[in-house]
Amino acid sequence: MSTYTRTAKILHWGMAALIAALLSLGFVMTGLPLSPDKLQLYAWHKWAGVSVFLLVWLRLLWRLRHPAPPWPAGMPRWQQRAAQLGHIALYGLMFAIPLSGWLLSSAKGVQTVWFGVLPLPDLVAKNKQLGQLLSEVHELLNFTLLALLAIHMGAALKHHWIDRDDTLRRMWR
Ligand code: HEM
C-alpha cells in the first residue's frame, strides 16, 4: 500500500487536533460574559489560529512537492473530482479562516501578540463596522468548514467501513 509521507501525516493529524480545539474554543469563548478569563481564552484562540496560518503554508508547500498516493482502484471519476475539490476547499479555508480572524481582530483595534511575545502588525485600521462585518465573515467561514469537515470525515469512514479500501489507512499508518 502506498501511503502519505510521515510529515504529511503529522501535519494532517496535528492540524486536525488544533483546528478542532480552535472551533470549540471559538464557539465557547464568544458566549462568555466579559472577564479576564474570557480575554485569556481570546488570546489563546488567536495564538493557536496564527499557528494554523503558519503551518498551512508549510503543509501546502509539502503537499506540492509530495503528491498524494493514487486513488483506490475502482474509485469513480466523479468521486475523485469531488474529493479533489473538497481538499482544495479545505486548504482555502485553512488560509481564509485565520486571515479573517486576524483581520477582524485588527479592525476591532485589538492587536495580536503571538504567544504574548511577538506583536503582529494590524492588517487594517480600527473600524468598528468593518470589525463587525469581518466577525460575521469569520463565523460564516467556520460554519462552512464544519459542513465540509462532516463530508470529509463521512467520506473517509465510508471508504474504511463500507468500501473497505485503504483511503483512511494511508493517512493513518
Ligand atoms: C483555523 C483557525 C481558526 C478557527 C478554526 C477559528 C474559529 C473560530 C470560531 C468557531 C469562532 C466563533 C465564531 C462565532 O460564533 O462568532 C471564532 C471567533 C473569533 N476568532 Fe477565530 N478561528 C481561527 C483563527 C483565528 C485567528 C488567527 C484570530 C486572530 C488573530 C481569530 C480571532 C477570533 C476572534 C477575535 C473571535 C471572536 C469574534 C467576535 O467576538 O466577534 N481567530 N473563531
Report d(CA 86, CA 158) in Å as an integer.
Answer: 16
State pLDDT tens for residues 89-148: 999 999 999 999 999 999 999 999 999 999 999 999 999 999 999 999 999 999 999 999
- Ramachandran category for residue 111: left, alpha or beta (phi over 0 → left; psi -120 to 50 → alpha): beta
pLDDT category, 67, cuts 50, 70, 90? very high
Per-residue confidence (pLDDT) for residue 42, from 0 to 100: 98
Residue 170 has pLDDT above 90, yes or no: yes
**Which atom of ligand 1 is closest in space to residue 23's alpha carbon?**
10
For ligand 1, is residue 98 a contact (CB within 6 Å)?
yes
For range 52-73, the mean pLDDT? 96
For ligand 1, is residue 100 a contact (CB within 6 Å)?
no
Q: Ligand 1 centre from 22 Cα, in Å?
A: 8
For range 43-47, the mean pLDDT? 98
Residue 52 has pLDDT above 80, yes or no: yes
Q: What is the mean pLDDT of the chain?
A: 97
Query: Would you say 98 and 49 are in contact if contact means Cβ atoms under 8 Å apart?
Result: yes
Q: Ligand 1 centre from 156 Cα, in Å?
A: 27
Q: In 3-state terms, what secondary structure has residue 84?
A: helix
State pLDDT tens for residues 139-156: 999 999 999 999 999 999
Per-residue confidence (pLDDT) for residue 173, from 0 to 100: 75
Can you give the C-alpha Rg of the chain in angstroms?
A: 18
Mutation choice for ligand 1 from 22, 45, 122, 144, CB with most ligand atoms inside 8 A: 45
Per-residue confidence (pLDDT) for residue 119, from 0 to 100: 97
C-alpha cell at 169: 489507512
Residue nearest to atom 19 of ligand 1 (CA): 26
C-beta contacts of 145-154 below 8 A and 24+ residues apart: 145/19, 145/23, 145/90, 145/93, 145/97, 146/23, 148/86, 148/89, 148/90, 148/93, 149/90, 151/86, 152/86, 152/90
C-alpha pair distances (Å), 55 with each of 58, 119, 121: 5, 18, 19
For ligand 1, is residue 106 a contact (CB within 6 Å)?
no
Residue 68 has pLDDT above 90, yes or no: yes
Dihedral pair phi/psi, residue 18, rounded to 5°: -65, -40
**Which atom of ligand 1 is closest in space to residue 110's alpha carbon?**
35
Query: Would you say 69 and 106 are in contact if contact means Cβ atoms under 8 Å apart?
Result: no
